[in-house]
Copies of this chain bind each other. A is one copy, B any other.
Amino acid sequence: MNTNIYDQYQENKRFVSVDCVIFGYEEEKLKLLVFQRAIEPAKGEWSLLGGWVNHNESTEDAARRVLNKLTGLQDIFLEQVHTFSDPERDPGGSVITVEYYALIKIDEKASNLLEDYGAKWYTLEELPPLIFDHNILVEKALERLRLRSSYEIIGRKLLPEKFTITRLRNLYDQIFQKQFDPGNFRKKILSLKVLERLEEKDMSESKKGAYYFKFKPKQEGEFNHPIFKRSI
């Protein structure tokens, strides 16, 4: 252990954890990965993925560590959401938790790993009651995901390499829980010039077929303004 000038304040040390709201997209549905809690209190109940923040580790590193242990994935999109610190929030003791949300492609994960952990994907509507304040954390993560999605076109981490505009629109329908107008959505998205049209078409959804698109490489400072004035 390295010397620490704050050792005189040992009294003030606190339990700090991270909790991850894991979003995925599959079968035209935005889904959320939840776990059966492995330790007391509330052992066996549904919970977000969490873990202690180790010494000499940032909270983001801690979140990546627990996510990697679980999914085997290395390059996961993470955004910090909020820190919850009500001393009563966890009946097991006063724990400060830093919340992140993660976006992952569902087909990428090693599903056998997930089963070992008693994990399960739920749609937003089917989500069961979670332990402690975790349902509030989910709400907060969803708010933040919506905010982000209204400033940039999200999907790089949720959709496969190539996808149709209809599929992207469906993702946005799911995130905002509303129906975007197909024509207007297409017009708006294409006007942003962040997608590149491929020559290949997806013929499974219509007779005419829908062009596949992929994301152009990310530009610096691409999105400074809200994209949709009234999406939220």
Instruction: Enumerate chain A interface residues (CB-CB to B < 8 A).
Output: 4-7, 9, 12-16, 40-41, 52-60, 80, 82-83, 85-87, 92-96, 98, 224-226, 229-230, 232
CA distance A58 to B15 in the complex (A): 12
- Closest B residue to A223 by beta carbon equals B232
Oligomeric state, in copies: 2
Contact of A98 among B85, B92, B226 (CB under 8 A): B85
Give the top 6 A-B pairs by smallest Cβ distance, nearest first. A13-B13, A4-B93, A5-B92, A12-B52, A59-B85, A58-B85
**Among A13, A57, A60, A98, residue most surrounded by chain B Cβ atoms (within 10 Å):** A13
Q: Quick check: B83 and A14 within 8 Å, CB to CB?
A: no
| Chain B residue nearest in CB terms to A82 | B80
Query: CB distance A58 to B80 under 8 Å?
Result: no
Please state if A58 and B41 are interface contacts (CB–CB under 8 Å): no
19 contacts between A and B (CB under 8 A): A4-B92, A4-B94, A5-B92, A7-B93, A9-B15, A12-B16, A12-B54, A13-B15, A14-B16, A14-B53, A14-B55, A53-B85, A56-B87, A58-B87, A59-B85, A80-B83, A225-B229, A225-B232, A226-B226
